[in-house]
Amino acid sequence: MPRYYTKVCNFYYGYQSRLLIEEKKTLPLNGSKEISFDEIEIISRNSKKRISIKKINKLPYSIKKIVKNDIKIITSKKKKFQNLSFENIPNIMGVLNTTPDSFSDGGKYNKIKLAKKRLDYLFKCGADLVDIGGESTRPGSKTLSSKIEWNRLKDILKKIDKKKVISLDTRKSDIMEKGINLGISLINDVSGLNYDNNSINILKKYKIPFVLQHSLGNPDKMQNNPKYKNVLLDIYDFFEEKIKFLRKVGIKHNNIILDPGIGFGKNLKHNITIIRNISIYHSLGLPILLGISRKRFIKELSGINDSYFRIGGTISSGIYAMKQGVQILRVHDVNEINQSIKVFKELIK
């Protein structure tokens, strides 16, 4: 029998969602009344079928069993971790790069006073957590030594408020351990734990939450004609297999966030396919993070209307992702994103 995947779709948000759940016309995402759905797509590598949730019981038994199990996972309430709630979505992850060469803000915050000022500003603007990185992983970037990376990070990490949620953006296990010892809350490894074989041992040792991101190869070559059989399902299978492996090696907790890695070994078509169909990953049962801030796909879509900060494209794709139930948005412009979300939520009350 083909492998089937369940993608929830046709979402409702805010007041309309609460009303439809009460009338039992929709099902809640993650147990939240704020967002719900009334249709699903049943997808295989050779077919796609969209149906109302009312017609699930009419499916052939073997498919119905898969779909019902997926629906149970999708509608189940997610537990908080590191003070992150996955009911009132989205959480906002601010970005702080202490690098001279990151694709958007390289060189702006690579001095300790500037970095601390930016960190405080991001939290003041309403960031739920901030992702701090000392190595650029933009397309074409070269690998940095641990010594240089740590020298860029250590001063700002020594100044973090332990009450705040700080994510450490690194691929290296020694940097992870040093950061954990200074009080960081979350590990964000853009390589999907594939760069450093010891990273899994560190995550297991400290039982720290982490982001599992998909990336096709290392940054220096990841944009060299990336290819997939089916980008959406290939990434789903990557997550599923990696989670099974993590369970096998002894990481049993569910404090794991999934990031499909927009721009990490993907062309425009791949990126748009992922964003349009991001809700397929809800059936994996873990929170989804999406990094869309200022990325190249915005330039490719907007043409002559491209701009340096790409705030318009970031906001539109961020609200689209929020309406698909994405629990965390990783963005540079925290104030502007929060502004757009507050206005949107007020308008749909």
Q: Which residues are catalytic?
A: 295, 330
Q: Please state, in angstroms and rounded to a whole number, the distance separating the CA atoms of residues 53 and 175.
A: 46
SS (H, E, C) 165-232: CEEEECCCHHHHHHHHHCCCCEEEECCCCCCCCCHHHHHHHHCCCEEEECCCCCCCCCCCCCCCCCHH
Q: How far apart are the first and last CA of the chain?
A: 44
CA max distance for the chain: 62
The CA–CA distances, whole Å, from 115 to 134, 153, 164, 300 equal 11, 10, 15, 30
Q: How far apart are CA 311 and CA 16, in angstroms?
A: 28
Q: What is the DSSP letter of 339?
A: H
Rounded to an integer, what distance in angstroms lies between the CA atom of residue 309 and that of residue 311? 5
Instruction: Name the helix (H) or strand (E) containing 70.
Output: helix 61-75
For the packed helices 146-157 and 112-124, what is the interaxial angle rounded to 10 degrees? 60
Q: Where are the beta strands (DSSP E) in the chain?
A: 5-13, 27-29, 32-43, 48-52, 91-97, 129-133, 166-169, 186-189, 210-213, 256-259, 289-291, 328-331
Cα three-residue angle 49-45-73, rounded to 5 degrees: 65
Question: Which residue, among 218, 186, 199, 220, has the nearest Cα to 94 in the 3D structure?
Answer: 186
Distance CA 147, CA 37 (A): 48
Residues 6+ apart with CB under 8 A from 156: 96, 98, 112, 115, 116, 119, 132
